[in-house]
Amino acid sequence: MSGVGVAAGLGVLGPAAFSTSASSAPPPVFAHGVASGDPLPDAVVLWTRVTPTPECLPGAGRGPEVDVTWEVATDDDFSDVVRRGVVRTGPAADHTVKVDATGLEPGTDYRYRFVLGEHTSRSGRTRTAPSPGSSPSQLRFGVVSCANWQAGWFTSYRLLAERGDLDAVIHLGDYLYEYQPGKYSYGHEQIDIRLHDPQREIVSLRDYRRRHAQYKTDPDLQELHAAVPFIVTWDDHEVADGNWKGGAFEHQPDTEGPWKKRVRAAHRAYDEWMPVRISGTAVAGDGEKIYRRLQFGQLADLSMLDLRSYRSERVQPGDPAVDDVQRTIAGGSQLAWLCDNLSTSPCRWKLVGNPVMVAPVLMPPRPQREQDALSQHVATTSRRTSEPNTDTWNGYTSDRDRLLRRLEDDGIAGAVFLTGDVHTAWATEVPSPSTGRPIAVELVCNSLTSNNVDDFMGTRPRTTSLTLEAAIQQENPHVKWVNLDDHGYAVLSVTPERLQMDWHAISDRRDPDATSRVLSSWTVAAGVARVVPVRDPVPA
């Protein structure tokens, strides 16, 4: 398959797509779909982007200001509209529309849409959270991360959209990737299944807006956004690989400009293009505080973390600075906020949307080829000693110990970390730093399309990965299951009695019509920080 192969450029809203020549029609007014997010008992964020005239290219900074009407109804044909309003948008917001639709009923399905002149968007479905005092019998979430446009098709989004039984989708980061074509694409050959737009590493506000716009044209992502509210946070690729508060692995100030300017651009575009409350509001702008908490009755609450904006620079394994109390991954304010959330939550389950792994994991020494594959996303390993991945909480042990000791000292039950980032699937029991006994659970979703271990090694079948997985579990007895190879998505089902995660693997990320199978299922009983495999699972 060539780099331009299957559909290089499908959905790329570049200048050609907006041509007004006789050979092409003007772009649809609502070309980027609709979305909702951050459901509260009485409110939900609604989002769209309008293209009122052909010159209103994403990121172009041109075109008129327009008034867009939004409507929320209880029925499919909008005969019972319960909320309506008007939002003015224009080039300053990249013609995006974000509104907090308030005054809604808890635990209720709604339909929503947008209107600009004679043009009406498709309708979307959303659902408010249950009331704080209610006792839901069940919640169900899709759990996803790491969707690289160039590395494959977003089949997982389509399969989640087709379910029709989700309360929300939890996206744990790397919603998009910043790379140019030929960088971090499919497999060890670096094949571009689809080409990024713009065809360069994104750095400026215009660049980030165009990349968000491209991802929002993917039909499977549009279907999922229209089917269910998203609850999102960012990891590093929404800005730049390996970013921390003062820079990033791959940011070059001499050629790419000041780091702070790049971060502001990336965060502003994210705020404009995502259905999320940043800095406490749903106004499209340049808000940068994304960590927040959502509650779903007495059954579960969800603390969504930002583990990039406040972190200290990464150090290498073996550096004593790993344990330095002055270094942080979460920042003092966010860490205190999280600890208080966990301590004061009235809910049976305390879920934490956690972009990078929290469980202490040592990566065993491996032959050079396997070491190189692991180092791409799981860890930097030595051929002689076991070492941690210092890009995760492993590299900031003071913060992790403070968090885990709070869980232990306060006797907090039902803490479950939902994690992305590492492109692999894990079920772990998080041990106490003082006693070693399990005090929380961590469930890590596999990547939608981004490369994993066998992709970097170019190996099929899974013989090498099975050996690696066994070595990881031998080195880390609290790791109960790990899969280093499969791509897909997870579904989390929550009841008062138990929590279950089902990992689904897609058949081929190169195939836009790929199917899926249940890869594995693990369950956690209420009040017990242990994961147990589900034998012959009926997938949730």
Rounded Cα–Cα distance for residues 179 and 306 (Å) = 21
Helix (H) / strand (E) element for 343: namely helix 332-344
Task: Give the pair of three-digit tokens for residue 337.
Answer: 């906020």
Q: What angle do CA 38, 43, 44 make, to 5 degrees?
A: 40
Q: What pLDDT is stored for residue 371 in this prediction?
A: 64
Strand partners, 112: 72, 124
Please report the DSSP string for 238-307 in residue order.
TT-TT-BTTB-TT--HHHH--HHHHHHHHHHHHHHHSS--BTTB--SS------EEEEETTTEEEEE---
Q: What pLDDT is stored for residue 392 in this prediction?
A: 95
Q: What pLDDT is stored for residue 461 in this prediction?
A: 65
3-state secondary structure (DSSP) of residue 369: helix
Strands (E), 61-210: 66-73, 81-89, 96-101, 109-116, 119-120, 124-127, 139-144, 168-171
Rounded Cα–Cα distance for residues 384 and 118 (Å) = 68
Rounded Cα–Cα distance for residues 104 and 25 (Å) = 39
Task: Give the pair of three-digit tokens for residue 392.
Answer: 């995760």
Q: To the nearest 10°, the Cα dihedral for 76, 80, 83, 89?
A: 50
Residues 6+ apart with CB under 8 A from 393: 329, 356, 357, 358, 359, 360, 399, 400
What is the CATH T-level fold of the domain 130-533, as seen in this structure?
Purple Acid Phosphatase; chain A, domain 2 (3.60.21)
Helix (H) / strand (E) element for 327: namely none
User: Which candidate, 107, 99, 150, places its Cα nearest to that of 131?
Assistant: 107
Indicate the pTM of the whole model.
0.93
Q: Among all chains, which residue has been given the structure tokens 């930002």?
A: 306
pLDDT tens per residue across all 540 residues of the chain: 333 333 333 333 343 343 333 345 667 999 999 999 999 999 999 999 999 999 999 999 999 999 999 999 999 999 999 999 999 999 999 999 999 999 999 999 999 999 999 999 999 999 999 999 999 999 999 999 999 999 999 999 999 999 999 999 999 999 999 999 999 999 888 899 999 999 999 999 999 999 999 999 999 999 999 999 999 999 999 999 999 999 999 999 999 999 999 999 999 999 999 999 999 898 888 788 999 999 999 999 999 999 999 999 999 888 999 999 999 999 999 999 999 999 999 999 999 999 999 999 987 776 666 666 666 655 544 445 567 789 999 999 999 999 999 999 999 999 999 999 999 999 999 999 999 999 999 999 999 999 998 887 776 667 778 888 999 999 999 999 999 999 999 999 999 999 999 999 999 999 999 999 999 999 999 999 999 999 876 655
CATH number for the region 26-129 comes to 2.60.40.380
Task: Give the pair of three-digit tokens for residue 130.
Answer: 């249950």
Residues 6+ apart with CB under 8 A from 151: 184, 185, 186, 193, 449, 450, 451, 509
Task: Give the pair of three-digit tokens for residue 136.
Answer: 């839901």
CB 51 within 8 A of CB 28: yes
Task: Give the pair of three-digit tokens for residue 180.
Answer: 């140019």
CA 353 to chain CA centroid, Å, is 9
Residue ranges of the chain assigned to CATH 3.60.21.70: 130-533
Q: What pLDDT is stored for residue 376 in this prediction?
A: 60
